[in-house]
Chain A
Amino acid sequence: MSDIPCYHCGLDCGKNPIVFNEKNFCCNGCKTVYEILNQNELSCYYDMENSPGQIPNEIKGKYEYLNNPEIVEKLIEFNDGNISVVEFYIPSIHCSACIWVLENLEKLNPAIVNSMVNFPNKTIRINFKTEHTTLKAIVELLTSIAYEPYISLEDADKSAKKVDKTLIYQLGYAAFAFGNIMLLAFPEYFEKDDLWLEHYKYMFRYMMLVLSIPVVVYSAKDYFITAYKGLKKGILSVDVPIALGIIVLFARSTYEAFLDDGVVFFDSLSGLVFFLLLGRFFQQKTYNFLSFERDYRSYFPIAVTKIVNGKEENVPVQSVKEGDRLLIRNEELIPVDGILIHGEGLLDYSFVTGESVSVYKANGEKVYAGGKQIGGAIEIDVINKISESYLTELWSNDVFGKDTFERDLKTVTNNISKYFTVVILIIAAIAGTFWFIHDAKETIGVISAVLIIACPCALALSAPFALGNMLRIFGYRKLYMKNAGVIERMNKIDHIIFDKTGTITTNDSSTLSFEGEELTLEELQLVKTLIRSSNHPLSRALNDAISVEPFLDKIENYQEVLGKGISGIIQGNEIKIGSAFFVETKLEQNLNTIIFIKINQDIKGYFRSKNVYREDVENVFTQLGKKYKLSILSGDNEGEKVYLEKILPVGTTLLFSQTPQNKLDYVKKLQEEGSHVLMVGDGLNDAGALAQSNVGIAISENVNVFSPACDAIMEAKLFNKLPKFLTLSHKTIQIIKWSFKVSFTYNVVGLYFAVTAQLTPIVAAILMPLSSISIVVFVTILTNFYAKRIR
C-alpha cells in the first residue's frame, strides 16, 4: 500500500492517486472541490490546516425538492422580497479552515451577501439575494464543496428551537446586585458609631433593599418553585432550606432596615443567590451541536417525490396521503409504510431493526418506513399516513413522554438535604427555646440567624460544580452527556445491557464470509468473473469481498434475473449466483440475505455477512463482568450465539431476535426487580430501551450524524473506555460526598455564631463567600486530579 494522503481530505490515496496540479487526490470528488476552490482563489483553505476537507457526496436530483416554494418558505427564516436569510446545520464543519471557506461563500456565488458560521453549533447562516439565486443553488454549492447541509423534517418546524436564556438574565442581575450591594454594605462592616454613617445609613439600606427585591423575586424564583413542587410531592429537596434561608434573610433585613433595630444582610443575600446561580450555570453545559431529544422528525426527509399522472413532483412529506405514489431514489429513506409497486427494493433497515444485512423486497411486498433504499429507484404506493407508520408508532410509546421532574429530584444532594433540613429545624427550635427563656428579645434574631447561616450554599454548590466539571471532562473525552444528572445515575448502575449489532460489532465493515465447502481458486475466479458484470448492490459487495483476479474470457449465456440472481457460462462451467430459489436449493432460508453459489449443478455454499466485533470487546466485558450484571439483546438471529458465549463472562444473559418492544420490556422487567439499568445501544431499534433505562448511552460512529433519544452519546471508537467512564462517575460521587463533609464543617462554625447570637453582617459576609469559593476550588481540583489519574 502506498501512503500518499489526499491533499483535500487526508485519506490514503491507494495505488492510483488522481494527480492534479502535482497534488494527490483520493477521488474525483476531492479533486473537484480543490478545483472549485482553486479557481475562485480560495486555495488558502489548504494553508489553514492540513487536509481540511471531506469527500463530497454526489448531488444528482437530491435537492429537487428545494424548487417547491412551500418547502423553501418553511426553511427560510426571513425574507423581505429581496434578501433571504437561511440557517443550515452542517455536520462536517470541523476546523478553522471550514469557517474560513464557508465565510467566503460570496466568492463562489456572488448572490450570497454574507455567511456566518457558528462553530460550536456547526451551523451557518446565509444571507442571499433572492433575485439572483435560489436556495437550491446554495445547497448544491455547499454540497459540491463537501459541506452538505443536513435538512430534515425537524427544520420545517422551527418553533421548537428556542434557547432559554432566563438563567443568564437571572445570573446577570444577581451579579449586578451582588457587586453594588457589597459596595453599599461596606461602610457598615466596620464603623459602628460613626456620626456620618448614622446619618446616611438609611439611604444605603433603602438602596440595598431596592436592589435586592429583584434578586429575590426574579433571580431566585426557581428555588421557590422547585422547593414548592418538591414539597408537594413529599420530597425535602435541597431547595427547601435554600428557599427558607432566602426568605428569612430578606424578611429580617427588610424589617431591620425600616425599624433600625440591628443589622441587615442584603449583601449576603445577593451573594448567596449569585453563587447558587453560578453553580447552576456551570452545570448547564450543553452540547448544542448534539441532540439528545431526537424524534422521528429529525430522521425524516423534508420532502418526497410524488408521482402524479406520470410526472414527478416534490411535495412536503407531511402532505403524503394514503394512495399516493412515491418515488424513492438510491440512498433515500422511505418515510411512510407502503407497497412496492415498481423497481427492485433492497432496503437497509439497520437503523430500525439493527439487522446489518439489507433486505430484498419484490414487487407487491410491503415496505415499512425507516428503510433506506440502496440501488436503483423504486416506486411505492402509500398505505398509511406518516403519523401512523410503524416507525412513528414506536415513538408514541409512553417512555418518551415521561415526566422526569421526580427523577431529577432524587439526587445525592437531595438525599442528604432531607436529613439536613430536619436537623436545622431542630437546632433552630432548641436555640430559640433556650434564648426565649434567657433573653426573650433575642429569640427571633437567633432563629432567623440559624436559618440564614444554615442555608446550604456550599452544600448546594458542591454537586453542580463537581458534576459540571466532570461533564466537561467527559465531553473532552468524547462522551457527551445530556446533563449532569446522568453522572449521578451512572453511579447507581448495577446492570448493563448491550445491543449487539452496531454496538459491540462495528457497523460498516460487516464483511461477507463464505460457508460451505471451500472454494478453489479457480472457482473463486469464476465467481468473480461473473459477478463483475452485475450492477446489483449485493453483487458489488461480493465483488469487493473476493480479491482474486477474474478471468478475461467472455461470459456466454449471461442472464440476470431481476431480484433473483445471475447466471452464465465461463470456460464451459455453468455458474449460478443468487437466492435459494434461484439455485433451486432447500437449504436454510431465514431472514438474512444470503448469496448461494452453484457451479455445474453443484451447490457449493453461500456467502453471508459476518459481524466484526469491536476491538477489546472481550477485555471490556471481563472488566465489566466483575462489577456488573451483563445482558446482550440482539435483533439478529442466533447465528453468533456460540461465539458470544465464548467471549462473554459466565452468567451473561443472551437474548436474540428481540424486537424494539421486547428490549423495552426487558429493561422494564429488570427495573421492576430493582436493578438500575444502563443501556448501550445504537439504532432506532434501541430507542425505546434507551429511553426506559436509567441511563441510555447511544453509540455512534459519527456523533454528528444520528443517534436516538438518549442520556449520553459516545463515540464508537471509545467503546473500550466504558469501564473507565463508569469508574470516573463513581469517583465524582465520592468527591461530592467529601465536599459535603467540608461544607458541614462550615455550617457548624456558622451555627456557633448563630446560636450564640453573635451573627453580624461581617461574619455572614465573610463566611458565606468563603465557604462557597473554597468548596468550588476543592471539587474542581479533585475532579481534575482523578480525571488525570483514570485515563
Chain B
Amino acid sequence: MEVIYLTMTITVIIAGLFLYLFFVNVKKGQYDDIYTPSVRMLFDDELVKEPTQEAKKEEQKAAEVKKDS
C-alpha cells in the first residue's frame, strides 16, 4: 500500500495545477467580463448583405441622377 504516498502526492499536485491555472486566468482578466462573451458567440462571423428591393431602387435612382448631371 506504499503506493498511496505516490498517488496522494500526484492528486494534490494535479489539484494544485488547476488552482494555479485559476489564479493565472483571474489575473489575465478572464473573469472580468462574464456577460459579453455569451452574447458575442451568437453573432455570425460573416456579414450578410441582402439588398432589399427598396435599396436597389434607391441605388438605381442615385445612378440615374448621376447620369443626368
The one of A44, A117, A169, A196 that contacts B36, using a Cβ cutoff of 8 Å: A117
Tally chain A residues at the interface, Cβ within 8 Å.
35
Q: Decide: A180 and B36 in contact? CB cutoff 8 A.
A: no
CB neighbours of B11 from chain A (8 A): 180
The one of A96, A100, A196, A211 that contacts B1, using a Cβ cutoff of 8 Å: A196
Show the binding face of A for B, using Cβ within 8 Å. Answer: 20-22, 38, 41-44, 96, 99-100, 103-104, 107, 116-121, 163, 165, 168-169, 172-173, 176, 179-180, 196, 199-200, 203, 207, 211
Q: Decide: B26 and A44 in contact? CB cutoff 8 A.
A: no
Contact flag A44-B40 (CB < 8 Å), given A169-B26, A172-B26 = no
Q: Decide: A119 and B32 in contact? CB cutoff 8 A.
A: no
Q: Is B12 an interface position by the 8 A CB rule?
A: yes
Q: Decide: B1 and A176 in contact? CB cutoff 8 A.
A: no
CB neighbours of A21 from chain B (8 A): 52, 54-55, 58
Q: Is B15 an interface position by the 8 A CB rule?
A: yes
Known: A120-B35, A172-B22. 19 other contacts (CB 8 A): A21-B55, A41-B49, A43-B49, A44-B44, A99-B36, A118-B32, A118-B33, A120-B33, A163-B32, A165-B26, A169-B26, A176-B15, A176-B16, A180-B11, A180-B12, A196-B1, A203-B4, A203-B5, A211-B12
CB interface residues, B 3-33, toward A, < 8 Å: 4-5, 8, 11-12, 15-16, 18-19, 22-23, 26-27, 31-33
CB distance from A122 to the nearest CB of B (A): 11
Q: Is B63 an interface position by the 8 A CB rule?
A: no
Contact flag A180-B40 (CB < 8 Å), given A21-B58, A119-B33 = no
CB neighbours of B15 from chain A (8 A): 176, 179-180
Q: Decide: A176 and B40 in contact? CB cutoff 8 A.
A: no
CB-defined A-B contacts under 8 Å, sample of 17: A21-B52, A21-B55, A21-B58, A41-B49, A99-B40, A99-B43, A100-B43, A103-B43, A119-B33, A119-B36, A119-B39, A168-B31, A172-B26, A199-B1, A203-B8, A207-B8, A211-B12
User: Chain B interface residue count: which class?
Assistant: 20 to 34
Q: Decide: B12 and A169 in contact? CB cutoff 8 A.
A: no
Closest chain B residue to A22 by CB distance? B54
Closest chain A residue to B31 by CB distance? A168
CB distance from A341 to the nearest CB of B (A): 48
A115 CA to B11 CA, complexed, in Å: 41
A233 CA to B52 CA, complexed, in Å: 73
A776 CA to B36 CA, complexed, in Å: 29
Q: Decide: B19 and A172 in contact? CB cutoff 8 A.
A: yes
Q: Decide: A169 and B23 in contact? CB cutoff 8 A.
A: yes
A411 CA to B31 CA, complexed, in Å: 31
Q: Decide: A41 and B1 in contact? CB cutoff 8 A.
A: no
Q: 9 tightest CB-CB pairs across the interface, nearest first?
A: A22-B54, A119-B36, A118-B33, A176-B19, A41-B49, A96-B39, A41-B47, A119-B35, A120-B35
The one of A116, A165, A180, A203 that contacts B27, using a Cβ cutoff of 8 Å: A165
A200 CA to B4 CA, complexed, in Å: 9
Closest chain B residue to A176 by CB distance? B19
CB neighbours of B65 from chain A (8 A): none
Q: Decide: B40 and A103 in contact? CB cutoff 8 A.
A: yes
CB distance from B63 to the nearest CB of A (A): 15
CB neighbours of A119 from chain B (8 A): 33, 35-36, 39
A462 CA to B23 CA, complexed, in Å: 28
Closest chain A residue to B52 by CB distance? A21
Q: Decide: B1 and A44 in contact? CB cutoff 8 A.
A: no
Q: Decide: B39 and A44 in contact? CB cutoff 8 A.
A: no
A381 CA to B12 CA, complexed, in Å: 70
CB distance from A474 to the nearest CB of B (A): 19
CB neighbours of A200 from chain B (8 A): 1, 4
A211 CA to B36 CA, complexed, in Å: 36
Closest chain B residue to A168 by CB distance? B26
CB interface residues, B 47-61, toward A, < 8 Å: 47-49, 52, 54-55, 58
A179 CA to B48 CA, complexed, in Å: 49
CB neighbours of A211 from chain B (8 A): 12
CB neighbours of B33 from chain A (8 A): 118-121
A353 CA to B15 CA, complexed, in Å: 59
CB neighbours of A41 from chain B (8 A): 47, 49
A41 CA to B8 CA, complexed, in Å: 59
CB neighbours of B43 from chain A (8 A): 99-100, 103
A100 CA to B39 CA, complexed, in Å: 9
A628 CA to B53 CA, complexed, in Å: 64
CB distance from A100 to the nearest CB of B (A): 5
CB neighbours of B44 from chain A (8 A): 44
A613 CA to B40 CA, complexed, in Å: 42
CB distance from A117 to the nearest CB of B (A): 6
Contact flag A173-B19 (CB < 8 Å), given A41-B49, A165-B27 = yes
CB distance from A85 to the nearest CB of B (A): 13
A259 CA to B12 CA, complexed, in Å: 24
CB neighbours of B35 from chain A (8 A): 119-120
A20 CA to B8 CA, complexed, in Å: 71
CB distance from A198 to the nearest CB of B (A): 12
CB neighbours of B26 from chain A (8 A): 165, 168-169, 172
The one of B5, B16, B36, B47 that contacts A107, using a Cβ cutoff of 8 Å: B47
The one of B4, B8, B23 that contacts A172, using a Cβ cutoff of 8 Å: B23
A92 CA to B65 CA, complexed, in Å: 37
CB distance from B60 to the nearest CB of A (A): 13
CB distance from B13 to the nearest CB of A (A): 11
A42 CA to B43 CA, complexed, in Å: 12
A220 CA to B55 CA, complexed, in Å: 65
A180 CA to B5 CA, complexed, in Å: 15
Closest chain B residue to A119 by CB distance? B36
Q: Decide: A44 and B48 in contact? CB cutoff 8 A.
A: yes
CB distance from A134 to the nearest CB of B (A): 26
Q: Decide: A99 and B49 in contact? CB cutoff 8 A.
A: no
A165 CA to B47 CA, complexed, in Å: 38
CB distance from B43 to the nearest CB of A (A): 5
